[in-house]
Structure 1
Amino acid sequence: MPTLLTPWRSVAAGFLLNGILLGTWASRVPAVMAHFHFDKASFGGVLVLLGLGALFSFPIAGRLCDSLGAVRVARMIAIPFLLSIAFVGLAPTIPLLAIALFLFGMCHGSMDVAMNSWASEVEKHMRRSVMSSFHAMWSVGAVLGAASGYVATAFQVPVYIHFLFTAVVTGGTIAPFLLLDWQSTIRTHVKGAAGLAVPNSALLLVGLIALASGLGEGTALDWSAVYLHDVVGTAQSDATLGYTGFSAAMVITRLNADSLVTQLGSATVARLSGLSAVFGILLIVGGDTLPLVVVGFVLMGVGYAAVLPLAFSRAAADCVVPAGKGIASVATFAYGAMTLGPFAVGLLAEATSMRVCFLMVGLFAASIAVLAPVLKQ
């Protein structure tokens, strides 16, 4: 495989692996809920553990990336990450499921920090913007994971077999690409952890944009299948099409995001992105057929695809806050909303309805369009 191991492909493999495992989990959420007889509120309480696991891992992974190097951390976490989704599928009781999801969240968060850190190194090495292409590969992985869920559900494959199969196949085909001979930057003098930093006043509005985007992505990940199944009344296999369409739209948009920003500017792209997400959510809430609602999720994917890369780019280019601290602070808002937001959605859905929840997400999406000017470089 020596000719296949290039810096871009190796980092892309990390993003692909992360996306596949998250997409696989999202595609079987209705099946897990049905198996353990969860209502929306109680399932939201379990989901919060996945989010807490990710947030808990950020400072740990950040320190490890500084002291050991991002590439080494990515390799170290790959096997536990693959094992963790298998544990989720095999969990026989709710307490064990909660523990498995917390570990799954920790592995996901650690890989996210490591692969983004490694990606920034490769981007500097290649001397051109490639970050959006890496995030596109994450979305490709999410599509593959969601598609595997569609097939598994259609053929009534049990969740534990589906998750075990995914772990084995993904580990055997993608993980070897992480073995590139690469020397990461080591910064042992950096103290503390940037993962839980909070934006100062200069980046607070950028952080709010990241929060709105993270909330939308997290809601699509964890609740799209539930919405299609419970509100629209689709079969479990068809319920996976919402997140599949969302992820596919993100892939296509992210592959073209860099050129769009060059032509239109960051603020214009962010404004159009927010409006696309709002329109998509209105279609979801107002639609009562599978095709119309899936189109809504596609427009959501188009809307959210470029927002986080734009927010990270703005944070890195801030003239007051150092790049590393700026990116970490904005990431706290983004991933906090992405992982903990679905818990709030579950509570609100139990008290009101899923339609009301998506309308609330739409209000946050509208704030992206309103605050778009702060993303100007």
Structure 2
Amino acid sequence: MTNITSTDTHITAGMRRARIALFIVFFAQGLGFGSLFARLPTIKATFEFSDSTLALMTLALPLMAGVATLVTGSIVQRVHSDTLLRWAIVANLTALALIGFADSFALLVPAWIVMGIAFGMVDATMNMKAVSLQQRYKRSIVVGFYAIYSAAGIVASLAAAFTAQAGLPLWVFFGAEFIVLVPLLLWSGRSLVHARVGAAGAAGAAGSAGAAGAAGATGVARSAAGAPARVRVPWLPVLSIGLVLTSAYFIESSASSWGSVYVHDTLAAPESVAALAYGGYSAAMLIGRLSADWLIRAFGAKRVIQVCALIALAGMLAVVFATAPWMALVGFALAGGGLCVIAPLAFAAAGTIDDTGVAVARANTFTYVGFLLGAALIGPIADLSSMRIAYMISVALAVVILFLARGLASRIEGAEQSPQTA
């Protein structure tokens, strides 16, 4: 296969602005979510939650987000995805700020609900637009957005640690994010029109930045006036992609929720060492995502995703059969580096099923299924047997990813080789 490079298509100024706007959205989404979870101990202390109550609250967020992202597939057939994304990300950050200001459970719950719903809508629409823009670029760019998301999570953890150490109240921390990010998102949000789902041909055919803007506007008008009220998208191809996403996010959730517990309890590592489990996982994932788009352009999606799936499997095997803490830490890092491309390329594959974004939204729902299962199943299974046996589930799911990876890449590369329609 001949890899598609940037010379195969004209990259307009509008497309570049859309890419920057999406970088900002992915960063804001990662920062908001990471900030909330990093300050959960403060929320627990403020409202005097029990462990069970806090667990229910944290599980409620992905549940609401999963339902919202599924519904988003229907909403974007009636409301343009860029409009929905702009309002949902503002609602998300507004809810985060309100959580910081809440001084009673009655105020916390509505803000919590709004954040869960808005987060799911942002998650679905930003993935739609990332995939749509990649199709316009005709080369791999989608993993770079996930690199920004990963980096935002690290920034959120560091900022949370600093504000907690300084004794700053939640409303200062969350409010500062709102004040900085919302104006930036509103300012850059207009550029998202150049990544409009289903309008790739209109703006992509223009020969200059000005022509691109005019063509994009024309494409939007035609889409608004002529698009059917509802588009039927088959579920069957989405299910295979969803299985990959469920598997990947189960492994990630098992690493984030239980990794440090495994290294501490099973391998007798001190807490200072055990805490590095998810840190190594996240750092390796970020490093992998920073270079993944280049590797995909150089070697092809099929080769990269298969190698990464093998690395993830090797990492989880190292975790399960570790006899010393350092072996498990290396295993978690390998798993993070291997999984770095799985979710972005799974969404890219979903984007080939239809040009409305519905398939991407449906696929996104499976990320929450994996996240919830990973957090919920590892502990009880470990209680019934051992943590090593519980982590065998992650090994099995890494095998599933390896088995299905080739099909994902074939779908992406097949779409790249197909003639582009105007």
| Residue 234 (str. 1) matches residue 271 (str. 2) | yes
Give the structure with higher Rg (CA). Answer: 2
CA shift for structure 1 position 16:
1.0
Code of the aligned partner of 2:23? A
Distance 2:170 2:97 in 1: 9
SS in 1 for 2:228: coil
Q: Which string of whole-angstrom CA distances, capped at 9 and with x for unpartnered residues, describes residues 179-203 of structure 1?
A: 4373645455242797xx7x41x55
Distance 2:263 2:183 in 1: 33
- Which residue of structure 1 aligns with residue 415 of structure 2? none
2:230 is aligned, of 182, 191, 206, to 191
What is the aligned residue count?
A: 365
- Which residue of structure 1 aligns with residue 248 of structure 2? 213
SS in 2 for 1:189: coil
- The equivalences for 1:332-351 within 5 A come to 332-339=365-372, 341-345=374-378, 348=381
| Residue 363 (str. 1) matches residue 400 (str. 2) | no
Distance 1:77 1:49 in 2: 18
| Residue 18 (str. 1) matches residue 57 (str. 2) | no
2:157 is aligned, of 129, 146, 156, to 146
- The equivalences for 1:260-299 within 5 A come to 260-281=295-316, 286=322, 295-299=330-334
- The share of aligned pairs that are identical, in percent, is 25
Distance 1:284 1:175 in 2: 44
- The equivalences for 1:1-377 within 5 A come to 6-32=17-43, 36=48, 38-39=50-51, 43-91=54-102, 99-173=110-184, 176-180=187-191, 182=193, 184=196, 185=220, 186=223, 188-191=227-230, 199-200=235-236, 202=237, 204-221=239-256, 234=271, 242-281=277-316, 286=322, 295-317=330-352, 324=357, 326-339=359-372, 341-345=374-378, 348=381, 357-377=390-410
Q: Which string of whole-angstrom CA distances, capped at 9 and with x for unpartnered residues, describes residues 156-201 of structure 1?
A: 545554333333333355553324373645455242797xx7x41x
Distance 2:229 2:158 in 1: 41
| Contact residue 316 and residue 335 of structure 2 kept, 8 A | yes
Q: Which string of whole-angstrom CA distances, capped at 9 and with x for unpartnered residues, describes residues 201-255 of structure 1?
A: x5544332221012223444555577788885536xx987654543333232223
- More divergent stretch after superposition (135-144 vs 358-367): 358-367
| Contact residue 317 and residue 323 of structure 1 kept, 8 A | no
CA shift for structure 1 position 57:
1.3
Distance 2:382 2:110 in 1: 24
Q: Root-mean-square deviation (CA), in Å?
A: 3.9
| Contact residue 13 and residue 178 of structure 1 kept, 8 A | no
TM-score, scaled to structure 2? 0.70
Distance 1:283 1:61 in 2: 39
Distance 1:327 1:225 in 2: 32
CA shift for structure 1 position 364:
1.6
Unmatched segments (≥5 aa) in structure 2: 1-12, 197-219, 411-422
Distance change in 2, residues 1:324/1:96 (3 Å): same
| Contact residue 241 and residue 350 of structure 2 kept, 8 A | yes
